[in-house]
Amino acid sequence: MNKSEIKMIESVLGGKSAAQIKDLLVELCKKIPAVHQHVLLWGKTAGNGENERLALEYWARAEAIIDSFNTYGGGPEDEEDECCDEIERLSQLIPELSWETRQEIMDGMLEQYHYGNSGFDDMLTDTCFELCREREEWLYLAERLLEYGGSWDKNLAMNVYKTIGDDSAFLALREKDLRYGSDYFELVSFYDERGDVEKALSYAHKGLKNGDGYVEHLVQYLFDHYAKKEDTGALEALMRTCGQIEKERALVSRRLFEYYKNRGDYGNAKKHALKEFEYSEDRDLDKLYGKIKEYMNESDWQAARDKLFGELKQRDSTGYLNICLDEGRKQEVHDAIFEKKPASRSAGFWGSGGMGGIDRDYYADKLRHDFPEDISKYFAELALKYVEGGAGPERRGYKQAVSYYRKVRDIYVQILKDEPRWEQLLADMKERYKKRRAFLEEIRELEEAGELEESDDLDSDWL
């Protein structure tokens, strides 16, 4: 609004009474929500005590959206953003609100949270925590949460008790509800922070044996404690326990390897290095293979090598091929690549049979210098499959084909030094697909060989 417009408004309002201006504002508030909000904001900054009313209005608009989301299990993204904005505005007012207003808002939020179908649950409970100041208010929130009786409700109530330092109430709830490893670890942390290490160790052992799900943090706590005390017997007992319950065996083996290695105990370190290989999941085994090879003396390595290599091949195809490359077993990599021919357009990965799951394109690229004829044929066949499959969305099929043909060109021109062969292949493709204008446009970049840049790895855009 410019100065002349402002003067015009001032002249219109100048002769009006306060009652008339009030009536005008009320009418504008009814017709224009934005005016209503600005008036309330003005009342807040002018010290008219409207902050309570404004907060309730923010919550009312947010509540309407959350209630709809609860009913339908979600809603439009713009409404989600609007709801978050309203809660953010509400949060900024919380320090100025009375407990009566905060309690009213909290009750409404907890009701919507209890429905549990809106996707706003975390935001609602986080805001409820913001609404609390005094101990009695925190206790009110905890009691309301416990009324619902759910496991997560109890966890939130326990967080309330920890926030206000009510240890007895926290322990009463936590000790009655121990199911997961994380439940036990909460008690481990509680007692450890208060210097009661014996109780912390007791709950760590109980959680390891009885806790469901993730227990790594319990194992780490126990191992750290006994390693610090150099209690080798307790560490080996921990290994036996993990072996019996089949939990975190690889973790304990790995840490025992480091423990014995640092103490100069070659025999036990070697034993646990082999145990870690045995217990580890079937991925990244090539790294463990390399670690064992580096640590063992030559005679021990020669004795263990064939068994480890055989297990590696059976359990981790990618790790096996990586070791084959490292050790110069390129024929084995070659055989794996050509074990099964491509059966689909997603030819770079096989999902079943033989060396299932390996990225054959990656390993084919690694062998282009050693088997240029076979590898160029491999890439040419893949390229042809994409051409035959058609352009697809955004010409992705043709772009993939060009990526493969680029690899064929590099092998013909750089490695085999046979540029005429490449030119003939390109000419044949242009003639064969001369009616596919989109394909011809895509392969145009391949017509000029120029300075070809050789790479050890495939480009990410065609993997």
- What are the C-alpha distances in Å from 53 to residues 35, 113, 125? 15, 23, 22
Q: What is the pLDDT of residue 55?
A: 94
For residue range 22-46, what is the model confidence (pLDDT) as tens digits? Answer: 778 777 877 787 777 666 655 544 4
Place of tokens 């085999």: 416
Q: Any idea which residue has 């309570």 for tokens? A: 52
CA distance 323 to 300: 19
CA–CA separation, 330 and 323 (whole Å): 10
Cβ-count burial of 452 within 10 angstroms (0-12 exposed, 13-18 middle, 19+ buried)?
Answer: exposed
Give me the amino acid identity at 349.
F
- With cut-offs at 50, 70 and 90, classify the pLDDT of residue 11: confident
Count of residues in the chain: 463
Burial label, 99 (beta-carbon count in 10 A; 0-12, 13-18, 19+): middle
Q: What is the pLDDT of residues 184-211, one digit of tens each?
A: 999 999 999 999 999 999 999 999 999 9
Which residues are CB-contacts of 88 (< 8 A; sequence separation ≥ 6)?
A: none
Tokens of 117: 């179908």
- Give 100-109 pLDDT, tens digit per residue: 999 999 999 9
Summarize the confidence of residues 115-138 as an average pLDDT: 96
Q: 180 forms bridges with which residues in the sheet?
A: 212
Question: What is this structure's pTM?
Answer: 0.72
Quote the tokens at residue 260: 């014995």
CA distance 267 to 65: 66
DSSP for 307-368? Answer: HHHHHHHHH-HHHHHHHHHHTT-HHHHHHHHTSS---SS-TTB--SSSSTT-BHHHHHHHTT
Residue 453 DSSP code: P
| Tokens describing residue 249 | 């065996």
Q: Count CB-CB contacts under 10 A for residue 372.
A: 17
Confidence of residue 353 (pLDDT cuts 50, 70, 90): very low
DSSP letter (8 states) at residue 96: G
User: Does pLDDT of 302 surpass 90?
Assistant: yes
Find out whether 156 and 145 touch, Cβ atoms under 8 Å. Answer: yes
CB distance 281 to 250 below 8 Å: yes
